[in-house]
């Protein structure tokens, strides 16, 4: 709907059409109840990491996405020159949606995972502000297409022999790890105000949606029943 509206706006502003069709279009807002469940818990992420521990390529992608909240496109376009080291931490400079820049922390074990990934590709890992080569490359040394990588990860993840995957109604895609990042950050004490810019969101409301279902379950009144005599007597 956004693409069509932009296209109709372009046609009208450049006199290809005389009727402002973009002004006639109804809102395409999605009801909260219709937003698909993309939640991933810390336990589910751990299960995936354990399942792919002997596959350094997939393991590295899952670990990096889950611990950084990167979009798949941002991961594919990341360069060696985007990584800096300051005060004992590695930071990745990211160009997100709307050309908004942010820095993403790369934990030491993620750096080790990147080294293992590049070793598998017969590449070394040296920080160099002049090296504009991609961090992650295909077996042929080419940068990943984000669509290809998204499909590749989706296929392998959903073929994993894990019970929680078989029970899901929708396939897990790389975008789910952004939700996992938000959920796990919140569980470890991070606030909405710190999670939102870390994900590159321009609105707290978007981040809140990531956390809504998880927080709703956590705060459910039903938890107070766990020691109820009624349950003990059923």
pLDDT in tens, 148-160: 999 999 999 999 9
Evaluate whether residue 234 is within a structural domain: no
User: 101 — phi, psi (to 5°)?
Assistant: -90, 145
How does residue 35 score in pLDDT terms, banded at 50, 70 and 90? low
Same domain, 8 and 59: no
Residue 84 is predicted with a pLDDT of 96
| Average of per-residue pLDDT across 29-42 | 65
Evaluate whether residue 227 is within a structural domain: no
63/77 Cα distance (integer angstroms) = 17
How does residue 52 score in pLDDT terms, banded at 50, 70 and 90? very high
| Average of per-residue pLDDT across 215-219 | 72
Same domain, 58 and 170: yes
Tokens representing 107 are: 């934990």
193/199 Cα distance (integer angstroms) = 11
Evaluate whether residue 228 is within a structural domain: no
Share of the chain above pLDDT 70, in %: 94
| Average of per-residue pLDDT across 97-125 | 93
Evaluate whether residue 219 is within a structural domain: no
Evaluate whether residue 138 is within a structural domain: yes
Residue 127 is predicted with a pLDDT of 94
CATH number, domain with residue 95: 1.10.443.10
What mean pLDDT value characterizes the chain? Answer: 89
Residue 202 is predicted with a pLDDT of 81
Residue 59 is predicted with a pLDDT of 96
Residue 211 is predicted with a pLDDT of 81
Same domain, 139 and 25: no
End-to-end, the C-alpha distance of the chain in Å comes to 51
Evaluate whether residue 158 is within a structural domain: yes
Same domain, 52 and 121: yes
Same domain, 15 and 72: no
Pairing mode, if any, of strands 83-86 and 101-106?
Answer: unpaired
Domain that holds residue 126: 42-214
Evaluate whether residue 163 is within a structural domain: yes
Report DSSP state, residue 55.
-
The residue ranking higher by pLDDT, 136 or 99, is: 136
Same domain, 24 and 86: no
Evaluate whether residue 11 is within a structural domain: yes
Residue 31 is predicted with a pLDDT of 54
């Amino acid at each position: 709907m956004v693409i069509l509206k932009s296209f109709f706006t372009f046609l009208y502003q450049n006199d290809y059409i005389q009727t402002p069709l973009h002004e006639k279009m109804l809102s395409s807002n999605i009801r909260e109840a219709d937003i698909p469940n993309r939640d991933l818990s810390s336990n589910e992420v751990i299960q995936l990491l354990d399942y792919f521990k002997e596959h350094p390529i997939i393991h590295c992608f899952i670990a990096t996405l889950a611990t950084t909240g990167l979009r798949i496109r941002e991961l594919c376009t990341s360069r060696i020159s985007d990584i800096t080291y300051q005060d004992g931490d590695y930071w990745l400079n990211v160009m997100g949606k709307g050309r908004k820049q942010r820095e993403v922390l790369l934990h030491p074990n993620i750096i080790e995972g990147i080294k293992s990934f590049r070793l598998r590709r017969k590449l070394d890992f040296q920080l160099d502000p002049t090296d504009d080569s991609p961090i992650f490359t295909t077996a042929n040394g080419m940068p990943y297409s984000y669509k290809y990588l998204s499909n590749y990860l989706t296929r392998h993840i959903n073929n994993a022999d894990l019970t929680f995957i078989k029970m899901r109604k929708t396939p897990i895609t790389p975008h789910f790890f952004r939700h996992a990042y938000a959920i796990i950050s919140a569980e470890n004490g991070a606030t909405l105000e710190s999670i939102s810019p870390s994900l590159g969101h321009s609105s707290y409301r978007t981040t809140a949606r990531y956390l809504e279902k998880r927080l709703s379950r956590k705060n459910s009144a039903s938890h107070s029943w766990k020691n109820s005599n009624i349950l003990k007597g059923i």
